[in-house]
Amino acid sequence: MAKERTLAIIKPDAVGRGLAGEILSQIHKGGFEIIAVETRRLSKAEAEGFYAVHRERPFFADLATFMSSGKVVILALEAENAIARWRELMGATDPAKAAPGTLRQQFGTSIQNNCTHGSDAPETAAFELGYFFSGRQLL
Ligand code: ATP
Ligand code: MG
């Protein structure tokens, strides 16, 4: 299978607890290549635009507030089957339901504060990679 790219985010709950290095280490061990990485704080408008598919959901306002509450690490990851493999490494959305050894099971503390984000399909990966890394040369 050809290499694929996905957009990952280490969310503010994880960065704020000093877990970015440990999560990056597990990304490395998982066989992903980091194509681009940026650490910064999102504005609320940027977080709302990023999660716009969820704008009708009851948790949308809290999600945008949470995602702009502190620094995030934004990553473009590359691997064979990267989209599915990164979601597998993250685990289920709710850390209480995430499989043992997944990032969310290890580090997530609630269904909102679940430490990482990952694109869920080729179309969303293309949108999300463009949302944060457009106009930049990705090697
Ligand atoms: P992500 O898109 O961040 O990778 P996901 O695809 O597993 O997560 P989505 O359904 O896309 O889950 O939800 C996006 C994010 O919204 C979740 O990761 C979580 O932070 C938050 N969220 C989802 N469901 C709830 C909920 N019921 N209550 C509070 N927050 C939620
Ligand atoms: Mg999602």
CATH number of the domain where residue 33 is located: 3.30.70.141
Count: domains in the chain: 1
The token pair that represents 83 in the structure block: 């989209």
> What pLDDT, in 10s, does the model give residues 67-88?
999 999 999 999 999 999 999 9
Residue 2 is predicted with a pLDDT of 80
- Rounded to the nearest angstrom, the distance between the alpha carbon of 113 and the centre of ligand 1 is 9
Residue 1 is predicted with a pLDDT of 65
- Rounded to the nearest angstrom, the distance between the alpha carbon of 60 and the centre of ligand 1 is 9
Does 111 map to a domain?
yes
Does 99 map to a domain?
yes
Alpha-carbon span 99 to 101, nearest angstrom: 6
Give the neighbor-by-neighbor strand order of the sheet with 116-118. Answer: 33-41, 71-80, 3-10, 116-118
Which residue, by CA, sits nearest to atom 1 of ligand 1? 117
Alpha-carbon span 102 to 121, nearest angstrom: 20
- Rounded to the nearest angstrom, the distance between the alpha carbon of 136 and the centre of ligand 1 is 28
Q: For ligand 1, what atom is nearest to the CA of residue 51?
A: 14
Q: Which domain holds residue 34?
A: 3-134
Look at strands 33-41 and 71-80 and give their pairing.
Answer: antiparallel
112 ligand 1 Cβ < 6 A: yes
> What pLDDT, in 10s, does the model give residues 17-66?
999 999 999 999 999 999 999 999 999 999 999 999 999 999 999 999 99
Q: What percent of the chain has pLDDT over 70?
A: 99
In SS3 terms, the chain reads as CCEEEEEEEECHHHHHCCCHHHHHHHHHHCCCEEEEEEEEECCHHHHHHHCHHHCCCCCHHHHHHHHCCCEEEEEEEEEECHHHHHHHHHCCCCHHHCCCCCHHHHHCCCCCCCCEEECCCHHHHHHHHHHHHCCCCCC
Does 139 map to a domain?
no
Ligand number with the minimum distance to the CA of 103: 1
Alpha-carbon span 46 to 72, nearest angstrom: 12
Does 63 map to a domain?
yes
